[in-house]
Amino acid sequence: MPEQKSSNNLPPIDLTTDDNQQQQQQQQHQQQKPDQKNTISNKEESVSNESQQCNLRKEKKKQIKWLKETPAQQRERFIRQLRAELTVKASDGGRGGGVARQPFKRGGSGINGIGSSCSRDRASREADHRSTVNYSVDENPERGNWSGRLDFVLSCLGYAVGLGNFWRFPYLCFSNGGGAFLIPYAILLLLCGIPVFLLDLSLGQFTSEGPATCWEFAPIFTGLGYSMVFLSTTVSTYYNIIISISIYYTFASMTSTLPWNNCSHHWNTNSCTDRLPFVSCGEGQPQPNGTCYNGTIFLGIYNESLFQKTTGLRRILASEEYFNREVLKVSGDINKFGSPDWKLVMCLLLSWIVIFLSMIRGIKSSGKVVYFTALFPYVILLIFFIRGVTLENAIEGIRFYIVPDFSALGKARVWKDAAGQIFFSLSCSWGGLMSLSSYNRFHNNVIRDTFFVTSANCLTSVFAGFVIFSFIGHLAGNLRVPVSDVTRSEFGLAFIVYPEVMNLLPGSNYWSILFFIMIFSLGIDSQFGLVETLITALCDKFFVLRRHRLPLIGAVCFVMFLLGLPFTCSGGLYLMNIFDRYLSGWIVLLVGFMECILVGWVYGRPGFGKFHRFTEDIALMMRQSISPVWRYMWQYVTPALILFTLLASVADLGRTEYTKGKGDYYPIWADALGWLLSVIPLLIIVGTGISRLLMEPVGISWWRRLRDLSIPTYTWGPAIPRYRLLMAPYLEKLGVLKYFYLDPKRNIKFIDVFPIESLNNMDE
Residue stretches of the annotated binding site: 158, 160-161, 165, 425, 457, 522, 525-526
Three-state secondary structure of 372-408: HHCCHHHHHHHHHHHHHHCCCCHHHHHHHHHCCCHHH
176's CB contacts (< 8 A; 6+ apart) are 408, 411, 413, 414, 417, 418
Closest CA to 359 of 561, 533, 149: 533
Q: Is 568 exposed, middle or buried (0-12, 13-18, 19+ CB in 10 A)?
A: buried
H-run or E-run covering 722 = helix 721-724
DSSP 310-362: HHS---B-HHHHIIIIIIS---SSTT------HHHHHHHHHHHHHHHHHTTTT
Residue pair 230/684 in contact by the 8 Å Cβ criterion? yes
717's CB contacts (< 8 A; 6+ apart) are 206, 207, 723, 724, 727, 740
Cα 748 from Cα 740, distance rounded (Å) = 9
Cα 214 from Cα 97, distance rounded (Å) = 24
Cα 764 from Cα 757, distance rounded (Å) = 17
First to last CA, the chain: 112
CA 9 to chain centre: 96
Reported for 394-398, long-range contacts at CB under 8 A and 24+ positions apart, including other chains, are 394/470, 394/471, 394/473, 394/474, 395/473, 396/473, 396/476, 396/477, 396/483, 397/469, 397/470, 397/471, 397/472, 397/473, 397/474, 397/476, 397/483, 398/466, 398/469, 398/470, 398/473
Neighbours of 435 (CB within 10 A): 32
Cα 17 from Cα 669, distance rounded (Å) = 113
User: Over the Cα atoms of the chain, what is R_g?
Assistant: 35
Cα 350 from Cα 528, distance rounded (Å) = 15
Give strand ranges (E) for 157-214.
none
Could you give the dihedral angle defined by the CA atoms of residues 374, 532, 530 and 594, in that order, rounded to the nearest 10 degrees? -120
Cα 463 from Cα 182, distance rounded (Å) = 12
Instruction: Collapse the DSSP code of 106 into the 3-class scheme (helix H, G, I; strand E, B; otherwise coil) and give the result.
Output: strand
Helix axes 572-583, 586-597, angle to 10 degrees: 30
Residue pair 749/135 in contact by the 8 Å Cβ criterion? no
Phi, psi of 391 (to 5 degrees): -80, 155
Task: Provide the annotated binding site for Na(+).
Answer: 158, 160-161, 165, 425, 457, 522, 525-526
Cα 470 from Cα 476, distance rounded (Å) = 10
634's CB contacts (< 8 A; 6+ apart) are 195, 199, 596, 599, 600, 604, 614
